Amino acid sequence: MNIAHLLLGSSQEFRDLPALARGTSPYLSYRDLWRKVAVMSTHLRVRFGLQRGDRVAFAMTNCVEAIEVMYAIWHAGLAAVPMNAKLHAKEMAFILENSGARLCFVTPDLADTIAEAAKDAPELREIVDVTTRSYTFMEVGDPGPMAEAEPTDLAWLFYTSGTTGRPKGAMLTHRNLLAMTLNYYADVDRPPPGGSIVHAAPISHGSGLWNFPMLGRGSVQVFPESGKYEVPETVELMNRWPECSIFLAPTMVKRLIEHGSVSDLRPDALRLITYGGAPMYVSDLKRALDLLGNKLAQLYGQGESPMTITHLSRDYHWDRAHPRWEQRLASAGRADSCMAVKVVDEEGRQVPTGEVGEIICKGDTVMAGYWNNPEATAKSLRDGWLWTGDVGAFDEEGLLTLKDRSKDMIISGGSNIYPREIEDVLNLHPAVAECSVVGRPHPEWGEDVVAFVVTRPGTSVAPADLDRLCLDNIARFKRPKDYKFIDALPKNNYGKILKTELRSKL
């Protein structure tokens, strides 16, 4: 089963409905999108000589071409490697090299970054800028047949950073993506034909994954012309396109409800906001419900089980009369239909209701493992259970509340930041003896990054120098917003740094 079957079905059922739109203008119908994808697929196989299972990366700010590229990849029996547009060239280089991608599609703003990254990726043969003739030429020719794919074939190689600092490629198969899609229909929503989704969040991550359930039901996928999330533009598009769904990180929901232009939103414009990827404060959620009505659903998932572990339904958000309404809002909801979810102790024994432990889950959306990384796979997948690294507790209603992120990950503006990656860079400076990076609560971004630094005796270093070092090595959004110089890092008897103590200093 090839996930591109979803598009084939929609091209037959919803032929003339728009499949893609640039801002307020329709771009391609379902029938035309299918034809274009089938022609592009021939180019991938013939002109670029790619063979079943080969990886094709894309580094693109949100645009219609991203959807064309993805489906052409699957149509040709290849695997997509999405890359977050905000990554540093060195991070892109690691992903390109590690995945062994043969071809990479880019938007013009990222062409230089990828050209730089390509120097360290020997298997990358070609970079195609989607605004050049090299791309438009891919429309020319005859449509080829869709390649067969086994449900277990790799479809989406998603690089999630590890606490060790090196990104790991979560291997998602055609079956994983299909199960995620069916789960959306079962637990989240069944969009009507002719509905829409506005891609305001990155297409390389959550918003891109929601393309499947929307495309399977004949919705139009709308790409803001700015290529990013700007509240007035998003509101305009939600008013323009019917029955609009949108995926937003909690901080993006907050920006929406705090922006003056939210009052321009027509009451019937919005169908559903799904939010997730980071904790949402109950006070923000209540304000969002007051302003937007019964239009919110939450999901809890991770790259290793995309968008699917638990969900908090619209009904639970809206049932204000329920005696446990607030507890429900503070939770991440109940296990998804396709998932078994447990809270366990270190030995994997289920803990009693109400007790905190690590969240593990099993089901058809759980990844096949990490690409070329058997050690990390063995740690995360045990007897088919995915150990999420998240800590939480179930209540007597079967609702899961996330207590903490066991791995000290920082979530800023909906993006995950792994302290170890930043610590690795800061440690490159000769004056840095030790450092530790933690998250500090931030009203707008959820958290921001703070580095505690211990300098070597007799030396000193200016924050501006450390900032430069970060800019040279990692994505801008990951660099610390504040440096605190201290005499020694707090440690326990085993020499482990006590991050909780550092956080309490903030």
- Name the site residues for ligand AMP (rule: CB under 6 A): 160, 276-279, 298, 300, 302-303, 332, 388, 390, 402, 405, 416
Cα gap 198→245, rounded to integer Å: 7
Which of 279, 463 has the CB closer to ligand AMP? Answer: 279
**Strands (E) located in 97-192:** 103-106, 126-129, 154-160, 168-173
Shortest spacing between CB 390 and ligand AMP, in angstroms: 5
Which of 77, 162 has the CB closer to ligand AMP? Answer: 162
Shortest spacing between CB 142 and ligand AMP, in angstroms: 39
Which of 207, 388 has the CB closer to ligand AMP? Answer: 388
Which of 216, 303 has the CB closer to ligand AMP? Answer: 303
Which of 243, 390 has the CB closer to ligand AMP? Answer: 390
Contact 39, 240 (CB under 8 A): no
**Strands (E) located in 88-191:** 103-106, 126-129, 154-160, 168-173
Bridge partners of 435?
453
Which of 195, 303 has the CB closer to ligand AMP? Answer: 303
Shortest spacing between CB 6 and ligand AMP, in angstroms: 22
Shortest spacing between CB 494 and ligand AMP, in angstroms: 25
Phi, psi for 13 (deg, rounded to 5):
-80, -35
Residues 6+ apart with CB under 8 A from 136: none
Cα gap 274→213, rounded to integer Å: 13
Sign of CA dihedral 325, 331, 337, 343: negative
Cα gap 64→224, rounded to integer Å: 9
Cα gap 15→10, rounded to integer Å: 7
Sign of CA dihedral 423, 306, 294, 191: positive
Contact 343, 356 (CB under 8 A): yes
Q: What is the DSSP string of 189-209?
A: --PPTT-EEE--S-TTTHHHH
- Residue whose entry in the numeric block shows the structure tokens 């500090």: 440
Shortest spacing between CB 291 and ligand AMP, in angstroms: 20
Which of 281, 483 has the CB closer to ligand AMP? Answer: 281
Shortest spacing between CB 332 and ligand AMP, in angstroms: 5
Shortest spacing between CB 306 and ligand AMP, in angstroms: 7
Cα gap 173→195, rounded to integer Å: 27
Which of 10, 388 has the CB closer to ligand AMP? Answer: 388
Shortest spacing between CB 163 and ligand AMP, in angstroms: 12
